Structure 1
Amino acid sequence: MKSINKVEALETINFSGAISRKELGLSNKDIKVKKISGINIKKFRNMGQNSTIDLANRITLVSGHNGTMKSTLIGLCVQPFNSDVNDIFGSPLKTNFREIFRLSSEYDKERYEYDVFIEDTEGLSVKIPVYTKPRSKSDPNIRIVTGGNTKGDGNLIFNTNYLNLNRLYSIHSSDAFPVILNLTDQEKNFISKFYNTVLIKDSYNSIESVQGKGTANASSKKTFGPKNSHYNFESISSGEDNLGRIAISLISFMRAAEKNKNKDLYNGIFCIDEIEASLHPVAQINLFNFLYKWSGKYKVQILVNSHSLPLIRHAIQLAQSGQEITTYYLSSLYSEDVQVKRNHPYESIYKELTFDFESKVKIPKVDVLCEDKLAINFIKRLVTSQQVLRRVNFIVPDENEGLPYNLLIKLCRNTSAFMASTIIVFDADVPNTALSKVKKDDNIIQLPNKTLKLPIEKLFVKYLLDTEKNDTLFFSKIKKPKDHIISTLIEENINPSIISDINKFRDIDTKRYKKWFSNNQDIVNKVFNTFVKQVEGREEFTTLFIKKINKICEINGYPSVEIN
């Protein structure tokens, strides 16, 4: 046996050092496949010769224009495998090549060749050659051969499953009806969690299985619908329909994992063509994140294709942060052959997919809505970092009244699309009972100081009155004594001594303090920055503010905010 290279990491796979099954001394069906390492395409249609693609342990995402062989790539990866377990409907957990594409006896006469590389349970890299040939001299139809024609060749055992979400028939076109599917309570709970996590709603707390009738393609006609909700399977969206197909595959792999006694082995590869089909960008990101966690738990490799810019950007960012994700871009814009580009920069992908080659990729800003202009000014001085502030767009409220907090509460409760990309900032004095009415509070944040729970104007006055009269604040910055400040307060019918009782101070009508604040801008402007720097909870607010910005960026596929 020749010297054997062990697979140490996906980034360092040396395909050139892989051994054959003959060198391994086993037949293909006896090789214990731990996982698929990747493929090397020597010649296949117009794919660039010797194109190498390695698969991540969890998710590999492929993007590119239509006609760049993204679906073909999936077919090549799953072709050499059979399965010895069944899906939840009793069919083998394998993918037929013809489900993905067909070879033409007229246009695919040329011999195609590629190698699939697997890692076995000993950590050895094994090369499996695959090629095409006519079925016989009398039958020109093209067949795909795994290994060769000698004893021991043929397909290996590894579970595969393929879904093309964009090509599946809608469940509504098939006279669907509820059916009894043998699911455990644990599996039902998993499916409910899957739907609710991806769609961010609780309609699927109870589910029912649905099947279409009178169709040739029965496998594309099974899904799930909500039960005991405000609607049922007859009203589900295309996106919900597609999620059902995915859920069926997930349960099938989970059952395979349960039967697998060798926990070192991966339980297969799950391939999804056009994963974003019929899903909102937020749901696309949620689905991707769910699959990533699921893949790690059940040891299933995932290979997906996508045209979705938000999803592509999200995958690239996760890959750059060290997650077990690999991204590929297939391009034919500058070559007759399809060029395979590993970890291609998002900016280049954006330009090629949109044909916007002139302008620089503009990163959308995250909208921030506050109660009034003072709150905006307050935030700008709390955060200070221009890297952060350049990434947000403050929505300026009405010049005079601003936006009352009860209106903002209504926005949070009733305008989900608006909330998905907007941060709502409430003043510190907004009652907790009011904020508790917002069930989904991922995008809301409250200004400091949340302990004192004072509006900004009152907090500013308290700061002045709490400062000792001999402090440099008065004779160096304001250039007026503290007694002068007190006199201006008295003129507005504000009793300075009341700050000794914080509850009484909190209960006084804020309008007096707003009026004082407005009439004494000369004082405010001189010390407002100094005041903000000492506000309790400033750092906590800034950290949370950036976190919420990045959450919206992640959902929409924007780059995250990074502080140098």
Structure 2
Amino acid sequence: MPAKKPAAEPVNQIPLPTGKSKKDLGLNDNKNIPIYSIAGIDIDLFRSISKQQIKLGSNITVLSGRNGTMKTSLMGLIAHPFTSEASDAFEKPLKTMLSEVFKLSPTHDTADYNYNLILESGNGEYIREPVRIYWVGDKTNRHRVVVSGSEKGDGNLTYNTSFLNLKRLYPLVDANAKLDTNNVYALSAQEAKELKDFYETIFPSSQYSSFTGVYKAKYKTTFAPSGSDVKYDWHSISSGEDNLGAIFNRLLGFQRAFQKGQKTGNGILCIDEFESSLHPVAQIRLFNYLYSWSSRYKVQVVLSTHSLGLISDIYSKHANNMAANRVSVNFISKSLASKGNIPILHNPPYHLAYKELTLEDPQQAAEARRIKIFCEDEIAVHFAKKLISSQRILKAVDFHSTLDPQNPTPGMSYTELKPLVSTCARFPVLLDGCLVLLDADVPNAFTSKIRNKDLFLVLPDDDNIALERRIIAWIINMDNGDPFFIKFGERDKFLDSFKQSGLESLTISDIMDEKVVSISKCKAWAVSDISKFKQYITHYCSKLSKKDEFVNSFLTAVNRLNSQLGIPEI
């Protein structure tokens, strides 16, 4: 049967490893625990999230959801319980204080918040480190964050972490930043080469010959294009270029901390509002760059985004990485919240992700888009519709039997389709977002020359003959007592109508042979009563063995076209 609509609930919600305490593993001091990676966090309670988990990918983790779903705060929970000596290119500590990420309210955040870090510590072992956040109102009027507890050896773990919020970076014009004219924070030749490659990869340009540091204590640490090739000075760089410089500054901090041959992990880089000031294509380029970079320097990247284009590309291009947990997508779902608890969905089906970000039912989106389907004539359109039959699929497509809506005699022969499809095989943009259904009698010599096989499907027939010829042969081949003749009239009446239309022979072997019975005579019979002929097609489709195979191929083609627009599968 054709593929069914995805279930309404996410699948494969596999829990994080439980993990053991450090004492169970014979470890005493958090500062000396070897960390190979962070598997995720297991949240007991944090604000309106209870008994939920965030699972981190070995390379990149994506947090997404609507505004007000605490994505930034959750990234803070991931990045905060660590400390390190690493610093960025401007000698500023990589470590970001929790207070720089989000503020806890003395009025509303008075409950005890508890979650557990799940750490991979080598040899297949996982450590479960509890973290408690609580309000101390009677003494210091502040929140405390306690890792493990208050015994000797407890406290922050040693691991490189950094949190970068692109949306909240101070613009250059507001930061009163200045150039590093004395090269106090100079890059090595290799680092300068990597910075140039980074910019050219994300924003391809021939103007990035050199860069200079731009900084303002506590507000701005970035790099700006400089040199004779640049058409503007550092004051005028775009916010996207500014953000790229800020990102590379953090990347460089992790790179400098990395030791060749290092077995343990090198840290976590959190980037909030990932898509800020970036063109959709630049977002995808940056994601792919970070994916490769994360493997090279053993850094897990965690990013938050609302970008449907990026999410769509991840599901389309990184499906294998998602399955292997190299890329992990976590949706904080307001639409599935129950009793005040917001669930976190790990790698949910794309149609759920789409609905979370657009508030639009995927089926309605597909119906609004409606893929154009071109057929040879109205008979082929009717045949295709009866084969498909599913209203869910038919509402998402729009059938055409002519390229000219003003044509008084709609329909195209395959010889008319031939230059169209052949041209589009060379210039596929002309049929972008469309699908051609060819009749079964189109010669293989024609279809074999079409390079892009995704542009067309062939209507099903066991012997690759035209539908009009097939229906005649099918009727003649049926026994006189078949229910078809009870419904539409006796068999002899049909034989007579065939001869009246000029068929040269009523023998099955002759009807199947174009040299004996011409297709023009078969078509003449079909159009003599087109309404009745369509009824015969409907009856024939109910008996056709290849129906399901064709429908699945058709649905696959439509979903492929929709996926190019970020629309979920039907």
**Alignment partner for residue 355 of structure 1, among 354, 359, 384?**
359
Alignment pair present for 1:151 and 2:155? no
Task: Name the aligned partner's letter for residue 276 of structure 1.
Answer: E
Pairwise CA distance, 1:235: 2.5
1:313 aligns with 312
1:16 aligns with 18
CA contact (8 A) 1:269 1:300 kept: yes
Task: Name the aligned partner's letter for residue 274 of structure 1.
Answer: E
Pairwise CA distance, 1:104: 2.1
2:461 aligns with none
Q: Once structures 1 and 2 are overlaid, which stretch shifts more, 243-252 or 169-178?
A: 169-178
2:32 aligns with 30
Q: Aligned pair in 2 of structure 1 residues 67, 446: CA closer, same or farther (>3 Å)?
A: closer
2:92 aligns with 91
1:464 aligns with none
Deviations 1:151-177 (A, max 9, x none): 000001110011111111112333444
State the alpha-carbon separation in 2 of the partners of residues 555 and 358 from structure 1. 14
Alignment pair present for 1:236 and 2:150? no
Deviations 1:449-502 (A, max 9, x none): xxxxxxxxxxxxxxxxxxxxxxxxxxxxxxxxxxxxxxxxxxxxxxxxxxxxxx
2:211 aligns with 208
Task: Name the aligned partner's letter for residue 38 of structure 2.
Answer: I
Runs of 4 or more consecutive aligned structure 1 residues displaced over 4 Å after TM superposition: 10-14, 363-368, 390-393, 424-428, 443-447, 527-531, 541-545, 549-561
1:223 aligns with 223
* Secondary structure, counterpart of 1:263 in structure 2: coil
State the alpha-carbon separation in 2 of the partners of residues 556 and 237 from structure 1. 28
TM alignment of 1:150-549, pairs within 5 A:
150-179=151-180, 180=183, 181-204=185-208, 206-213=209-216, 217-218=218-219, 220-227=220-227, 228-257=229-258, 260=259, 263-323=262-322, 324-333=326-335, 334-335=337-338, 336-357=340-361, 359-362=363-366, 529=443, 532-533=446-447, 535=449, 538-539=450-451, 542=453
State the alpha-carbon separation in 2 of the partners of residues 391 and 534 from structure 1. 26
Q: Aligned pair in 2 of structure 1 residues 356, 123: CA closer, same or farther (>3 Å)?
A: same
TM alignment of 1:14-163, pairs within 5 A:
15-21=17-23, 23-47=25-49, 49-135=50-136, 137-163=138-164
Pairwise CA distance, 1:57: 0.1
Pairwise CA distance, 1:298: 1.4
Deviations 1:58-85 (A, max 9, x none): 0110111111111111111111100132
TM-score, scaled to structure 2 = 0.63
Q: Aligned pair in 2 of structure 1 residues 82, 320: CA closer, same or farther (>3 Å)?
A: same
CA contact (8 A) 1:365 1:391 kept: no
State the alpha-carbon separation in 1 of the partners of residues 196 and 560 from structure 2. 24
Q: Once structures 1 and 2 are overlaid, which stretch shifts more, 297-306 or 317-326?
A: 317-326
Pairwise CA distance, 1:321: 2.5
Task: Name the aligned partner's letter for residue 85 of structure 1.
Answer: A
Deviations 1:391-417 (A, max 9, x none): 999xx89x9xxxxxxxxxxxxxxxxxx
2:5 aligns with none
* Secondary structure, counterpart of 1:169 in structure 2: coil
CA contact (8 A) 1:162 1:271 kept: yes
State the alpha-carbon separation in 2 of the partners of residues 555 and 232 from structure 1. 38
Deviations 1:183-209 (A, max 9, x none): 1122112111111111233332x1322
TM-score, scaled to structure 1 = 0.63
Q: Aligned pair in 2 of structure 1 residues 77, 534: CA closer, same or farther (>3 Å)?
A: closer
* Secondary structure, counterpart of 1:285 in structure 2: helix
State the alpha-carbon separation in 2 of the partners of residues 366 and 211 from structure 1. 49
Task: Name the aligned partner's letter for residue 325 of structure 1.
Answer: V
The structure that has the greater radius of gyration is: 2
Pairwise CA distance, 1:148: 0.8
Q: Once structures 1 and 2 are overlaid, which stretch shifts more, 240-249 or 119-128?
A: 119-128
State the alpha-carbon separation in 2 of the partners of residues 555 and 252 from structure 1. 37
* Secondary structure, counterpart of 2:61 in structure 1: strand
State the alpha-carbon separation in 2 of the partners of residues 100 and 186 from structure 1. 32
* Secondary structure, counterpart of 1:290 in structure 2: helix
Task: Name the aligned partner's letter for residue 287 of structure 1.
Answer: L
* Secondary structure, counterpart of 1:75 in structure 2: helix
CA contact (8 A) 1:15 1:125 kept: yes
* Secondary structure, counterpart of 1:163 in structure 2: strand
Q: Aligned pair in 2 of structure 1 residues 145, 18: CA closer, same or farther (>3 Å)?
A: same
State the alpha-carbon separation in 2 of the partners of residues 196 and 42 from structure 1. 44
CA contact (8 A) 2:166 2:273 kept: yes
State the alpha-carbon separation in 2 of the partners of residues 251 and 359 from structure 1. 45
1:411 aligns with none
CA contact (8 A) 1:39 1:52 kept: yes
Pairwise CA distance, 1:533: 3.9
Task: Name the aligned partner's letter for residue 307 of structure 1.
Answer: H
Task: Name the aligned partner's letter for residue 337 of structure 1.
Answer: N
CA contact (8 A) 2:19 2:128 kept: no
Task: Name the aligned partner's letter for residue 30 of structure 2.
Answer: N
State the alpha-carbon separation in 2 of the partners of residues 301 and 559 from structure 1. 28
Q: Which runs of 5+ in 2 are unaligned?
A: 1-11, 375-387, 407-421, 432-438, 457-557
Say how many residue pairs are matched: 409
* Secondary structure, counterpart of 2:321 in structure 1: coil
CA contact (8 A) 1:238 1:278 kept: yes
State the alpha-carbon separation in 1 of the partners of residues 268 and 399 from structure 2. 40
* Secondary structure, counterpart of 1:98 in structure 2: helix
CA contact (8 A) 1:363 1:558 kept: no
Pairwise CA distance, 1:322: 3.5
* Secondary structure, counterpart of 2:341 in structure 1: coil
Q: Aligned pair in 2 of structure 1 residues 554, 207: CA closer, same or farther (>3 Å)?
A: farther
Task: Name the aligned partner's letter for residue 264 of structure 1.
Answer: K
Deviations 1:107-163 (A, max 9, x none): 212111111111113331001111023447421211111111110000011100111
